[in-house]
Amino acid sequence: MYELLFITTVALLITFGTGNSYAQSRDQQRSFYDRNGSFSGSSIDHGKDASFYDRNGHFSGSAIRNGDGTTSFYDKSGHFTGSSVDTTQRK
């Protein structure tokens, strides 16, 4: 009985430990500054979506990159606020 509990615990630690380290290594944080050089906020890019925070660290919204080349934007309450189209020239 204890052997099964031990094996299950080790398996869960390996699974969740690996998952968290993968998520942290793929997330990229970026800081933004105003024209005077003062910190104005940050974003964390999670791959297909990004979260935005104001200068006090409060969540202010998110953006999701869709498969059709558009990006959808949402406010801090999760309400859709608009979208954009990728106009980058293809190589």
Query: Which ranges in the chain belong to alpha helices (H)?
Result: 2-26
pLDDT of res. 4: 43
Nearest to 72 by CA among 85, 87, 53: 85
Q: 73 forms bridges with which residues in the sheet?
A: 63, 82
Domain ranges of the chain: 40-85
Rounded to an integer, the average pLDDT of 19-43 is: 77
Q: How far apart are CA 7 and CA 62, in angstroms?
A: 39
Please state, for a pLDDT cut of 90, what percent of the chain lies above it: 34
Is the pLDDT higher at 67 or at 18? 67
Q: What is the pTM of this model?
A: 0.60
